[in-house]
Amino acid sequence: MESQPTILTIGDYKETLIVVRSLGRAGCKLVVGEQSGQVIAYARHSRYVSEIWVHPDFDREEQLIQAIETFLKSRADIQYVLPIGEIPISYFARHCFEFRELRPFLMPSADVVIRCQDKIQMYDCAVRLGVPTAAYTNVSYPRDLPAATERVGFPCVIKPRHSPKAFMEDQKALICKSVRDFSESRSLPGYCPIVVQKFVTGNRRNCHFIAKHGHILAYFEQKVLRTDHAEGTGRGIHSVSVAPTPGLFGNTATLAEDLRYSGVGTAQFLFEEDTQEAHFLEINPRFDSTIALPYQCGFDIPFMTLQISVEANVHTGLEWNYVIGKRIHWLLKDIFTAGRRVLHPGGSFRYKLGCVGQVLKSWWNSSCHMTFEWSDPMPTLRLCMRLPRVVALRPIVTAPRPAFSRLIARCSRRISLRSKNGCLVVRDPAKGG
């Protein structure tokens, strides 16, 4: 690129901070779009951000369309729009026709985004292409959930079919080892199509890639060592870079070719180290929240994405040279998670001490961190100032939603369970009820 452009990013998340650092150091001028009233802002205080533009929330869709159109028409200097995060990507995919006359959007095509965010479509695609996928079934209504779990068998994983959808208050999926575990989902929605999938073991592998017309041009692989949920679901907080696994790269390339994928993405698999067996989870058609690790390993995904998107002939060969064995830790999220567990009235002292020990061990063994950089410390320092208040005020246990209470009543009739306060309770035959 002869001269670096001015770019409007939409969505201020953890990965936004890495994007603005990367593109800012490359000489780009960054205008960061931020929702009005956003509680936690990651990129706002970065030294690489030239301007903050506050826009309407994403749930006010018509107002947001008008605001973006007005802003871009008044700013001829902005050359590209870069949506970051699951919600912005989904929003612009749904409203691609409204923005077709404006600046180029640096994201995968709308049809690819919509396909990737539909898990059943992607699982059907993976099965057709021979990509290993755990057995699954689709449930259109929660009343059919018990029958679906019987077809798939226990243990199983229950998750929403479409992304982005909040499945429960603080997790993306529920692992059910028996009917007893239904009581663990305090807020299962009564309106969202659900995927029931056979539970398989293994570490999560995040396979970051950049593709053009279905051909992968850059690839980075990391192993998630620990997440913010003990059972392995949720967000990764401790990861390590690993050498590309031929099988995972081959599966990712097969899916990208079938999708005619252009842009940045992350394919996720569960990978069993001993048997080398892999199972496809999903493709996130966006910058993944863990791109800080490839960036710290010298694999500049944001800048490579910009190059590949705006230049016709670049990266003709596969790029995957990066540091192997580098560990990264999301310290703030780990402290937040451990703080909630320590403040919880239940749990033994030994358990709480172990939670604190995990944080210290991951911090000590990591050579870099998700948000903090000495050359750009203010975003993390600002987040640290808010952390005690967030940990103290966020509720530890969330009351059941009405939709889940209705689901419990339906399940109780189907699988001979009784309900109490929105939770499933197994009858004790010895007591006759």
Q: What is the pLDDT of residues 231-240, one digit of tens each?
A: 777 888 999 9
Q: How far apart are CA 240 and CA 359, in angstroms?
A: 16
Assess whether pLDDT exceeds 90 at residue 181.
no
Distance of CA 404 to the CA centre of its chain: 24
Least reliable range by pLDDT among 50-59, 214-223, 317-326? 317-326
- Over residues 237-279, the pLDDT tens digits come to 999 999 999 999 999 999 999 999 999 999 999 999 889 999 9
Crossing angle of helices 378-393/331-343, nearest 10°? 20
Print the SS3 string covering 5-27: CEEEEECCCHHHHHHHHHHHHCC
| C-alpha count within 13 angstroms, C-beta hemisphere, residue 383 | 23
Distance of CA 254 to the CA centre of its chain: 22
For range 86-94, the mean pLDDT: 92
**Structure confidence at residue 2 (pLDDT):** 56
Assess whether pLDDT exceeds 70 at residue 314.
no
pLDDT band at 217; cut points 50, 70, 90: very high
pLDDT band at 148; cut points 50, 70, 90: confident
**Structure confidence at residue 418 (pLDDT):** 39
For range 390-410, the mean pLDDT: 44
- Over residues 157-171, the pLDDT tens digits come to 888 888 766 555 556
